[in-house]
Amino acid sequence: MKKSRILALVAALFIVAVGLVIWNPWDPCDAPKPICENFEKIQDLDGIASVQVDYATMAIDRKDGGSSSATWTVNLSENQQDSAAIESAVRAEEILQTTVVPAVELQNYSQYVLGQPQVVKTEATTGEYYALNISPFEDLQSELHQAFMLRNAGALRVTNSSVVVANPHDLQEVASFAKEHGFDVSLETEDQKVRYTPDPKIDMEKLALVIDAGALPNVETALYGSQRLSVHSITADSTVETSAIQQWLEQRTPPHNDPLRYSVSSPGYAEILEGWIGKALPDSLIPVPAPLPEGTTAWKQDPNANYCTTDDVKFELSAPDAAVGSRYLSVYATNISDTPCAVQGVANLEFFNEEGHPQTDVTVTADPGISPESVVIPVGETAMTTMKWGAMSTSQDPDETTSLEIALLPGLEPTKLTPQIEGTDTSLDILDGAKIRVSPWVQALEGWSKPN
């Protein structure tokens, strides 16, 4: 090759090299100059392995200059001591938060990560996750200090509020460490089968419960949070296998013997069974005899009194009453026989529309706070049962309830009653699908009136 051609080629390569220096297509900072200047400052810190910044224009306004955002991902060096990495991160945060782009309202967001993101693939999810990923909220130094301590204690991945560990054994170990140091984070196994979220402090007895539940046969996931244990079964709700899960929950002693709700869901979450661990109910759900209103003298109890029959009582309805979102109605049973007779439990109720057809899918449940005591009605006196339901929409002219039938017990001949207001027939917004709470028969209830 001639010397002149060689010189021309060298010159051309030199020009290309100079051009790449002036315009670097691989420049890691594709943002306005102030951002890139601070990018370089952060990149030069000893404890920083790499920096990435994503700049985005949110709005352009010729008058006000518009707005934009800069999202910083600062990768801390794994070759530094934890304290040195944390110190560098705090300095980096100070630098990036002082970044200003003239005539632009700039929002800076940052996250501090460690290492390269690892691909995590489970039955539930697939994604890339850092071993440590912390966003500044209140005190970045404390937040990073907590994260490094949890990672050193055995966590696979750590964020501000959550920890992922390899298995249930590590879950207990890391949870114990977190509790000792006052770190109130949620904890989860890598396969996502067991997850525990404290409320708000870590409770090792509750953690043990969710771990044990996750180890049961046919359990897909066991999750604790919001003061409830939620178990998802791989078998249908009606199967022996799912019944065994529910039976285990109801035989287990609740943590600290305090009432704790559970739910068991079937595949597709089509059915959810609910109850209380160990069948331990809170005081509010333990039925007690209804307290009598002040000034009311209790009727005499007679264990030998016969139960009332349909012929022994006269049924009446109160006028319907209402409050915001709720409806109320009482049924009275007056003893018209010549001897005292007893009533007990919840009356049998059925609701009918104007055509005389029963309302469908109406659910009647007993008031859980009142125990069904035997009430011996003296001659001429009146016992009562109360109904409460949620207001239902009548805007589309649905078939409202215009009458109801009541019997003291299932199987006895019912009595048909028509609701009235001041002597005029009326309807009730009890429609198909209504849910009604009914008290057992009582002598009287505070707040509920009886006929004079």
pLDDT-derived band at 122 (thresholds 50, 70, 90) equals low
For residue 259, give both structure tokens. 């009432």
Helix 204-214 and helix 240-251, axial crossing angle in degrees, nearest 10: 160
Reduced to 3 states (helix: H, G, I; strand: E, B; else coil), residue 165 is strand
Residue 13: which H helix or E strand, with range?
A: helix 3-22
- The CATH code that applies to domain 33-114 is 3.30.70
Averaged pLDDT for residues 251-273: 93
CB distance 258 to 282 below 8 Å: no
Averaged pLDDT for residues 286-302: 92
- 378 pLDDT higher than 90: yes
Residues 6+ apart with CB under 8 A from 211: 168, 171, 172, 194, 222
In angstroms, the Cα distances linking 116 to 49, 76, 110, 111 are 11, 10, 17, 14
Residue 121: which H helix or E strand, with range?
A: strand 118-121
Is 341 or 61 the better-scoring residue by pLDDT? Answer: 341
- 71 pLDDT higher than 80: yes
Give residue-wise pLDDT tens across range 334-352. 999 999 999 999 999 999 9
Measure the CA–CA gap between 180 and 189, rounded to whole angstroms.
20
Measure the CA–CA gap between 328 and 390, rounded to whole angstroms.
9
pLDDT-derived band at 23 (thresholds 50, 70, 90) equals very low
Whether the CA torsion 412, 422, 360, 347 is positive or negative: it is negative
What is the reported pLDDT for 167? Answer: 97
Averaged pLDDT for residues 54-77: 85
What is the reported pLDDT for 452? Answer: 72
Measure the CA–CA gap between 242 and 220, rounded to whole angstroms.
11
C-alpha 400: how far from chain center: 34
Averaged pLDDT for residues 246-259: 97
Measure the CA–CA gap between 6 and 2, rounded to whole angstroms.
7
Averaged pLDDT for residues 221-236: 96
For residue 352, give both structure tokens. 């009918």
What is the DSSP track for 94-116? HHHHT---TTSEEEEEEEEEESP
Helix 168-180 and helix 140-152, axial crossing angle in degrees, nearest 10: 140
Reduced to 3 states (helix: H, G, I; strand: E, B; else coil), residue 70 is strand
CB distance 196 to 207 below 8 Å: yes
Measure the CA–CA gap between 397 and 171, rounded to whole angstroms.
56
326 has which bridge partners? 323, 390
CB distance 263 to 213 below 8 Å: no
DSSP conformation class of 307: B
In angstroms, the Cα distances linking 17 to 24, 27, 30, 40, 116 are 10, 14, 20, 22, 31
Give residue-wise pLDDT tens across range 171-192. 999 999 999 999 999 999 999 9
DSSP conformation class of 442: B
Same fold: 33-114 with 310-438: no
- 8 pLDDT higher than 50: no
Domain boundaries, the chain: 33-114, 160-283, 310-438
What is the reported pLDDT for 310? Answer: 92
pLDDT-derived band at 440 (thresholds 50, 70, 90) equals very high
φ/ψ of residue 357, rounded to 5: -90, 140
- pTM here? 0.68
CB distance 441 to 344 below 8 Å: yes
Measure the CA–CA gap between 128 and 116, rounded to whole angstroms.
9
For residue 192, give both structure tokens. 């996502």
Measure the CA–CA gap between 69 and 91, rounded to whole angstroms.
20
| Residue that is written with structure tokens 């002040």 in the block | 294
Measure the CA–CA gap between 151 and 24, rounded to whole angstroms.
38
Reduced to 3 states (helix: H, G, I; strand: E, B; else coil), residue 36 is helix
CATH for 310-438, options being 3.30.1360.120, 2.60.40.10, 3.40.50.10140, 3.20.20.70: 2.60.40.10
Percentage of residues in the chain having pLDDT higher than 70: 91
- Tell the burial category of 281 from Cβ atoms under 10 Å away from its Cβ (0-12, 13-18, 19+): middle
CB distance 390 to 327 below 8 Å: yes
